[in-house]
Structure 1
Amino acid sequence: LQFDTRSNWSISGIYVSFFVLVCFAVMVLLVACLNYVLLSLAGSASRTREIGVRKVIGATRKMIRFQFLSESIVIILISVPVSLLLLYLILPEFNDFMGRSLTLTGSGSKWIAALAFIILFTGILAGGYPAAALSHLLPQKILKSNTSGNYKARFSGLLIVFQFTACLVMLICAVIMYSQMKMIQTRDLGFNKEQIIAISTKNDHAVSPEKIIGNFRNELASEPNVLMISALAFDFGDIGGISSKVNGEGKQTFEYYTWVDYDFFELLDIKLAEGRFFSRNFADTVPRRFVVNQAFADQLKLESGATSVLGKMPNRPDDEIVGVVNNFNFESLENEVKPIAFELGGHNGDQMLVKVSPTDVPGSIAKLEQTWKKVVGDNKFTFTFFDDFINNQYKRYTQWIRLVTISTCLAIGIACLGLLGIISLAVINRTKEIGIRKVLGASTSALLALFSKYYLSLIVVAFVLAAPAAFYLSSKWMQDFAYKINIGWTHYVYPLTGLIVLALLIVGSQVIKTTKINPAETLRSE
């Protein structure tokens, strides 16, 4: 985890997101382990006689269990170097994709300890049940029967349900998270962020921010592609000050303050609800004059009972409100619109906003850089497009969605491989039955329905288990957003439909392949 001290993401939000991420990682590991168990049980028919013979010649249950656990751990040991090689190869691409700088460096002893724990834990988790189940088989029953029996059928179904449950939880969460971020990205923020260039004027230059902004205005006054210039005391989204008081109902209320320059509201196309904006035609610095948002005005009206907030502020004779603007999202959408009062004074601040004509944006940037060198000198010209500056507030969530998508695809891929193996073995074991049914007139669609209904019932059971778990995890993840989507039936139906279609494709491909075999070949020995 990388903590950003300027982020609005609360510590509780970080822990919740970390918790959700850990849940996803555990589910991916669980799906992989269940896959191994499923395939071990499905392939155990060919090993039951081996176990029976070993028991007859003196092998104990402990020895049988040790054998299967050892095989599981050996397979994992073989996979470790392959996994590390793949990790080494894909890590640079992953860092580029996620905007991270993860490395494989670290203490050798810690790596060895972590790998040893993962190998033992995964080996026991994956091989524990097959070892226990197969070691309990009685040799006389094994050697008398031609098959391993159906002792494992119900448990295999249970494992498939768990796999589908994990996949559906991740898939539903991914759909809900994507919908939430789509809403965030398309929501009207209450201002226009296009064709605006944000320039950092933080006071680390030889020239003060006030002179930089003033000189920029003078130098670019006749530049046709530069439409408007304004500034903020702090970066857009950062609150300058806060005050609290207790209202008449005994509740604590808060007021937030920050400083902006002339033309700030006009540059961002923020709508005026009442009064006027800051103007050079008025002495808006003495006494202190404010333009407030609607949330501030509503709170003040509630406290004072006034119908309009324009004029002197209650109990503050030196402060005057000259205008009220419509609410806009000054902070990220993780926060509700706060009651904010804007005071004139951004000309001596951290960020300058320049609105340029869309006809020649590269030329405008070149002109701004040229002016910067003339005004400031050789100090670095640091700028960003304002829409990128706003969107960067949600960059971590975009990266989060990518990671969730990768994890979900990985889990579904693993589960589908397991389902493919199970279906393949099931169809092979029932090849003669399929041949007999074909001879008796069964169609391919009837055979497909015969095999599909069992797995569809497992998916339905998994969905019933997954839906509340997915709702809990996604609701936890969204709790730090002030504006949330309404989780509806589509967020559940689409993942369920997708998984059903995927399962039907897997089942159908194996059944159709088997139905193409001539029944005379499958029934020749009968």
Structure 2
Amino acid sequence: MFKSYLKVAIRNIIKYKYFSIVNVLGLSLGMSFSLLLITFYIFISSFDDFHTKKENIYRVISTLQKKTADPKDFASAPAALAKSLQDRSAGIREIVRINTSFGGDIVSNKLNLPVRGYYADANFFKVFDFEMMQGNPATALSEPNSMVLTESMAKKIDATGNLLGHTVEIEGVGNFEVTGVIRDQNRTHLQFETLVSFSTLSAAVRGEESDPNQWVSFRGQYLYVLLNDAVTAGQLQQSLDRISHDVSDPSQQAKVSFKLQALGDITPGPDLEDATAPDTDTTLLVVFGTICLLILLPACFNYANISIARALKRSKEIGLRKTMGGARIQIFIQFTIETIAITVIALAGGILIFMVIAPEFKSMMMAASWLDLSLTWEAAGIFLLFAIATGLVAGVFPALHFAGLNPIQSLKGQSGSKSLYGVRIRRALIIFQFALSFCFIVSLFVFSRQYRYNLNFNFGFHTENILNVELQGVDPVTFKSEFSRLASVQELSMSSGILGLSYSSTMIREQRGGDSLSVFQHFVDTDYIGNLGLSLLAGRNFPEASLQRERCMVVNEEFLRTWKIATPAEALGKTFVVDGKELEVIGVLKNFNFGPLQVPIKSFILRTDPSQFTYGNVKVASADIQATLALMEKTWNKLSSNRKFEARFHDYDMQRAYDFYWALLKIIGYMGLLAVAISLLGLLGMVVYTTETRIKEVGIRKVLGASETGIVYLLSRDFLKLMLWATGFAVPASLLLFDNFLSAVQYYRVSLNAWDLISSFGVFFSIGIATIASQTWKAAAANPVDTLRHE
């Protein structure tokens, strides 16, 4: 029986090629984004599955409640908690402490290779099953200054990767003996390139000295416990509650509590502060899944719409089947199998589209290094089940409709679908589809303007032809002396960061006392203000003597507002205490955007401390930039032969900082294309239905003298009304959406304006009218002799 159903389904798919192609295309578009979600979820839900003891491994997470702020949930926990748990809890097999502060540059063998990783307890490999390729996991982290490398990092240091027993020097940190090499593993929430023995840290950092502050200041510290089979998480939680009660100090005005998080609940899991895992929280999945539904459900609805539009052509077939004894369930199964066959065919198209958009999705997620969206056999099997489920969702409504047809009406060619199309809910769904399409079209206009706005934004300082060179420990005075000799160098200054992208912060208070306030800062030399084109409203630049001893600072206008200083002139001469130093205000700068456009201009100061300089800001004037860079690299090699010349143009870095919007624009463009295409296919199905049910009416009107234009308008006006209704709902929804979304993403942003709405309206109606006209004009142009004979 199933073979017969399948054969009939394939015959019908081939017979009605036009509708089959339209349905396959619509479902392919609708499923493609859902396939992306399925693959993403398969990947992140498999994190840490390779650990054999995963069912008994838990991470301790913390909630910090300060009286002056809302409670915050942290993935980290105090290192001192390990000893308390050991002393006061039974049934713990192992406790592993991790500190994520390890990092630096490898300078051995003339390498300039940054490396990041964790300090970890010696029993790390007793809990976690990372595959050891070289070395003994039982002793690899037992001694201070022991280091375990990942395979990829080992091969970066030495092409062979055979480093067991070798010594690696980390600049400013020390020498480390390589005691192991482990195989790379990207399906883990622990993202590291190297592990260093926890005993390398001082006793204070290890949490082995009495310090009340360590219980409320624990960023970068993590705690994992491996329980015995006989011990439950609930039993250990009781111990954590008791410890929390004992260590919460009222004098600190803070309370900390601890909870256990199963290893399998970390990814995907709740969004926690100080997390080591990539951004895979459940909120992201909910948003992602909602978008998938907004695209997939209209595609399923369109299939039902087009299928019922074909009822006139298949009603006699159904009537004949019922007359010959076909039961309702058999008709239902027949049409359901036909739908599933179409969705399985559409799956192939969906997979092709998925393979095209997957790299763009990784780019938008900033996850090119860790996210694996490759197609596996497991994913293929789930894709097939998903296609079958989609077929059931899309086909159940048409199957029920056809199965319920009266055989006598069916043999007379009366499908009974006319009343179905009068149901209000169907019109509401069509309006929803059109409104969704309109919102996506508006989003394309808005985000494209936002991207151009970011690139052309006036930050209040110069970025053109300024090359930022990483000092990498080179003496700033020597660097400035050597590079200033180059003919292509117009100006040269020093700084602690890249203006517009990076900055630091500290606390500041008035000299006479009072509360301390947060202030953002940059450390610069005497040439920086002129080189970057910053505007002094009052006062003067830094004197040369300030580089020998820090005594003064230059502030921005916002600093004056923070401290309620009326004019720039009044600020001059005032003294503030910063990091224990008394600094006099000698200048006031016109406000400029010292940070990314995501944050507003706030209180900001420029200071002088050569030990903080990390960049040389070189203003270049050259007709041959490649030759200039080569000469600079040659000069650099004289200063540091073991470090690679690292330099990027300031405006290039600024542009790269907003690549997120370009990736977002492409993803939204794709989703908009899907939404619009699916809506147009649904519109096409309705137009086909209307022209087929009113074909005799069209013939009669033409015989009575109606013009083709009038008939086209007659057949189209109901659809145009639906599009107008959709626009009416979409405009306020767009205003609300972009006002809230853009304000959350970026402080300096464009606003949705009338031109965006008018342009979107024009595009929306142009493609809608073109779709409608493709069928209504065909019906209006038909010979009335043929249409009046239509059965």
Settle same-fold status: TM greater than 0.5.
yes
- Aligned partner of 1:494 in structure 2 is 759
Distance 2:495 2:705 in 1: 80
- Aligned partner of 1:171 in structure 2 is 441
Please, which moves more after superposition, 329-338 or 182-191?
182-191
Q: Quick one: which of 632, 638, 646 aligns to 1:382?
A: 646
Deviation at 1:192, TM superposition (A): 1.4
Deviation at 1:510, TM superposition (A): 2.6
- Aligned partner of 2:419 in structure 1 is 151
Which structure is richer in relative contact order (CA contacts within 8 A, separation 6 or more)? 1
Distance 1:61 1:165 in 2: 37
Q: Quick one: which of 485, 501, 506 aligns to 1:222?
A: 485
Distance 1:96 1:336 in 2: 26
Distance 2:444 2:697 in 1: 41
- Aligned partner of 1:400 in structure 2 is 664
Distance 1:260 1:174 in 2: 41
Q: Is the 8 A contact 1:24 1:170 kept in 2?
A: no
Distance 1:126 1:440 in 2: 41
Q: Is the 8 A contact 2:553 2:587 kept in 1?
A: yes
Secondary structure of residue in 1 paired with 2:779: helix
Distance 2:354 2:790 in 1: 50
2:381 is the counterpart of 1:119: no
Distance 1:491 1:409 in 2: 17
- Which consecutive residues of structure 2, in runs of 5 or more, have no partner in the other structure? 1-39, 45-188, 192-271, 274-278
- Aligned partner of 1:7 in structure 2 is none
Deviation at 1:95, TM superposition (A): 6.7
For 2:572, give the aligned amino acid.
L
Please, which moves more after superposition, 53-62 or 26-35?
53-62
Q: Is the 8 A contact 1:34 1:126 kept in 2?
A: yes
Inter-CA distance 135–466: structure 2 relative to 1 (3 Å threshold): farther
2:750 is the counterpart of 1:518: no
2:694 is the counterpart of 1:430: yes
2:311 is the counterpart of 1:79: no
Q: Quick one: which of 462, 479, 498 aligns to 1:192?
A: 462
TM-score using structure 2 length:
0.58
- Aligned partner of 1:289 in structure 2 is 552
For 2:770, give the aligned amino acid.
L
- Aligned partner of 1:32 in structure 2 is 299
Inter-CA distance 485–36: structure 2 relative to 1 (3 Å threshold): same
- Within a 5 Å distance, the mapping from 1:419-498 to structure 2 comes to 419-478=683-742, 479-498=744-763
Distance 2:329 2:516 in 1: 68
Distance 1:50 1:104 in 2: 45
Q: Deviations over 1:444-496 (max 9, x none)?
A: 32122212211110111222332343334323421231123232333333222
For 2:637, give the aligned amino acid.
K
Q: Is the 8 A contact 1:240 1:259 kept in 2?
A: no
Structure with a larger share of its residues in helix = 1
Q: Deviations over 1:310-362 (max 9, x none)?
A: 11325678211111111111110100012111111256432221111154433
Secondary structure of residue in 2 paired with 1:152: helix
Inter-CA distance 480–19: structure 2 relative to 1 (3 Å threshold): farther
Secondary structure of residue in 1 paired with 2:564: helix
Inter-CA distance 427–28: structure 2 relative to 1 (3 Å threshold): same
- Aligned partner of 2:403 in structure 1 is 135
2:417 is the counterpart of 1:417: no
For 2:493, give the aligned amino acid.
S
- Aligned partner of 2:168 in structure 1 is none
Secondary structure of residue in 2 paired with 1:187: coil
CA RMSD of aligned residues (A): 3.6
Q: Deviations over 1:98-121 (max 9, x none)?
A: 9864654376445534542x2244
Q: Quick one: which of 303, 308, 314 aligns to 2:570?
A: 308
- Which consecutive residues of structure 1, in runs of 5 or more, have no partner in the other structure? 5-9, 203-207
Distance 2:344 2:405 in 1: 28
Please, which moves more after superposition, 310-319 or 351-360?
310-319
Deviation at 1:170, TM superposition (A): 1.8
Q: How many residues align?
A: 510
2:771 is the counterpart of 1:506: yes
Inter-CA distance 129–290: structure 2 relative to 1 (3 Å threshold): same
Secondary structure of residue in 1 paired with 2:593: coil
Structure with a larger share of its residues in strand = 2
- Aligned partner of 1:205 in structure 2 is none
Deviation at 1:269, TM superposition (A): 0.9
TM-score using structure 1 length:
0.85
Inter-CA distance 30–178: structure 2 relative to 1 (3 Å threshold): farther
